[in-house]
Amino acid sequence: MIKLHEGGAVWRGGRPAPASEADAAAGREKTMAGRILRAHDLGGGDGMRLRFDSLISHDITYVGVIQTARASGLAEFPVPYVMTNCHNSLCAVGGTINEDDHIFGLSAAKKFGGIYVPANMAVIHQYAREMMSGCGLMILGSDSHTRYGALGTMGVGEGGPEIVKQLLGDTYDIAPPPVTLIYVTGEPPRGVGPHDAAIALCGAMYKNGFAKNRVLEFAGPGIKNLPMDFRIGIDVMTTETACLSSIWETDGRVEEYLAVHSRPEAYKELAPQEGAYYDGMAELDLSALEPMIALPFHPSEAYTIRELQQNAGDILRDCEKRAAEKFGGRVTLDLTSKLRDGKLQVDQGVIAGCSGGMYDNIAEAAAILDGGSTGNGEFSLSVYPPSVPVNLELINSGVQARLMASGAVFKPCFCGPCFGAGDVPGNGALSIRHTTRNFPNREGSRPADGQLSGVALMDARSIAATAANGGVLTAATDIDYVPPAPHPAAFDGSAYEKRVYFGFGKARPETALRFGPNITPWPEIPPMPEDLHMELASVIHDPVTTTDELIPSGETSSYRSNPLKLASFALSRRDPEYVGRAKKIQAAGLASCIFAECPGDGSAREQAASCQRVLGGAANICRKFATKRYRSNCVNWGMLPLVLSEGVPFDFAPCGRVDIPGARKAVESGADELTGYINGAEYVFTIGPLTKQEREILLAGCLMNWYAERRKK
């Protein structure tokens, strides 16, 4: 299905060929990515200083973004800034009402000239595709799945502070990223969908770091065989390879999509130029794809469904073993008990959001279930369309009626199943989902409380086949059905015209912001001291620590607008003692820090860093950072990114002492290494490379302080 090639490749005659050093020097900016990045680069300095065409956030992040930006001098949004309400929608959890934040968001859109999408109208990324995309554009979003490459738009997902910088006229500063070619050939078989391709890519690329912090550039003769929803479904999942962004060749189907969405002028042909150089290459043969499943607890735990069916006992026992190691024996994942007569029984199916909820996925699921039944037992099937316009299309074509007649339940346009706030399965249940992630906290598990369920990722087609088979795991290629005929492209945007607030360019500064009782300002953050004295508040030796473990998603996010309350949940599902230790260290007048082997995979939410900071955190110590966006979040919140070499032992327990004398002077001087002491033993930490601005932010204590200092000058 997928072949990885180390080393460079050059685009010659419409296909890749082996490259030389001369090709590299001449061809880096002949890629689609290179040309788009350079067009958005303001220049100056060694790296790139990027200005984006538009920005987008959802209701877990936009309150913090606006609070930070207005504390830093925001007067008006300089580019279109969209605020969607698709994560915490119209619910009350823990004494806070999320609608208060939505009211705040609308008042901010009026005051500063923003675009506000009410709850249940659209999930963040579908709105961006329908209303903001265009060939050659760049969009920055405070959500990690900001990916619109299939529409010729480079999307980058970062923490809220990077949105703040754009709102205040600053830039997104990076070194020119490596670009990896995904050479697409063939045509997918019947019953194979975009999630099958996406899971295969994640399985091939994530664990070996093949795509990490790179741009994935999709080109090749197989692209013409893919409808837009198929391309979009693969593209949004590129985030799970740990890449920085993505971009695809464009063609008549992209042109038609943009024309149907009333933006014909946004189309232009994108393709690699002759001589384009790639730092790596992967071949994706669509014709060799099979239905896939990603077992708990990561999209890269990829198997073909055929392989799982043939070796179910061994594969499931291995998954259970990994879970036991991950949770330290505190809770048990039991999947083998779901094997009945050699077949795997599933409890729940979900087709949802920016990856699964596309029209074509749902229409093909309806074709598979047409005239059948999801059954009267434990198994249930829920469907979440990605936007009201798509749902209108599903209604008008009869797709929704056919699925509902089979027993499926349609839900609002909501991201809940992707982050633990919708269709949460019961303890011990196994849920199969066409959603973006299956991290252990994404489905509502609470390992510290002895509760654990499992989520496996699958394509909507095989989820429907499983539903038609009474919840017995079934590949769509194993059943007989007639795929639906291509549906004429359609888009009815009248619901947006009637409900979305379009305020860009029409700021009303006299508008008062409306604060709910749970919206509080950031506490005062101290600047970096001359000498840094810390204690370890948590030590995590897992191979990777996700942002969901650093600050759980789901119900805890209802406190997203109250920094101190939200911080009380930090690491609660991974190290429940962390908050108490951090507060005790803070009360003693010291800073705290954490050690994790590889922190920051997953969500772009800056709360994973800010929650540590408001509890007195001053550093993360690690072997490497899982993503650029989490490292940036640490820096923007004034926490030193301290990296230890792989071979250096780290056997210290929580509450161990960490001292870095002369930390401030070293950062000021431009040093890329710091000498420090852990329980008196000398260690050398790498902190670079850091830009001049990043060093200034660290010295100021956080991005807000840095802007405050600039205003004084």
Q: In angstroms, rounded to a whole number, what is the distance separating the alpha carbons of residues 688 and 703?
A: 18
Q: In angstroms, rounded to a whole number, what is the distance separating the alpha carbons of residues 439 and 567?
A: 20
Residue 185 has pLDDT above 80, yes or no: yes
Residue pair 185/221 in contact (Cβ under 8 Å)? The answer is yes
Q: Which two tokens stand for residue 318?
A: 């291995």
Give me the pLDDT at residue 713, please: 65
Q: Which two tokens stand for residue 521?
A: 């300002």
Residue pair 391/400 in contact (Cβ under 8 Å)? The answer is yes
pLDDT 10s digits, 613-624: 999 999 999 999
Cis peptide before 178 (omega within 30 of 0): no
Closest C-alpha among 610, 638, 641, 612 to residue 698? 638
Instruction: Give the three-class secondary structure for 304.
Output: strand
Give me the pLDDT at residue 93, please: 52
Give me the pLDDT at residue 328, please: 75
pLDDT 10s digits, 76-117: 999 999 999 988 654 555 545 678 889 999 999 999 999 999
Residue pair 91/98 in contact (Cβ under 8 Å)? The answer is yes
Let me know the angle formed at the C-alpha of 460 by 454 and 462, rounded to the nearest 5 degrees: 80
Give me the pLDDT at residue 323, please: 86
pLDDT 10s digits, 196-238: 999 999 999 999 999 999 999 999 999 999 999 999 999 999 9
Residue pair 417/352 in contact (Cβ under 8 Å)? The answer is yes
- pLDDT tier at 555, thresholds 50, 70, 90: low
Residue pair 629/688 in contact (Cβ under 8 Å)? The answer is no
DSSP 8-state symbol, 501 = E
Residue 610 has pLDDT above 70, yes or no: yes
Give strand pairing partners of 180: 216, 280
pLDDT 10s digits, 663-677: 999 999 999 999 999
Residue found by looking up tokens 């505190």 in the block: 330
Q: Global pTM?
A: 0.91
Q: Which two tokens stand for residue 5?
A: 């090639």
pLDDT 10s digits, 263-304: 999 999 999 999 999 999 999 999 999 999 999 989 999 999
Lowest-pLDDT range, 11-15, 42-46, 526-530, 646-650? Answer: 42-46
Residue pair 621/644 in contact (Cβ under 8 Å)? The answer is yes
- pLDDT tier at 20, thresholds 50, 70, 90: confident
Domains and CATH numbers, the chain: 2-288 (3.30.499.10), 294-478 (3.30.499.10), 532-712 (3.20.19.10)
Give me the pLDDT at residue 327, please: 79
Question: Could you tell me what percent of the chain has a pLDDT over 70?
Answer: 97
Residue pair 459/368 in contact (Cβ under 8 Å)? The answer is no
Residue 48 has pLDDT above 70, yes or no: yes
pLDDT 10s digits, 371-391: 999 988 889 999 999 999 999
Give me the pLDDT at residue 263, please: 95
Give me the pLDDT at residue 21, please: 82
pLDDT 10s digits, 240-271: 999 999 999 999 999 999 999 999 999 999 99
Closest C-alpha among 45, 42, 60 to residue 165? 42
Give me the pLDDT at residue 442, please: 66
Give me the pLDDT at residue 444, please: 63
Residue pair 52/40 in contact (Cβ under 8 Å)? The answer is yes
Give me the pLDDT at residue 87, please: 81
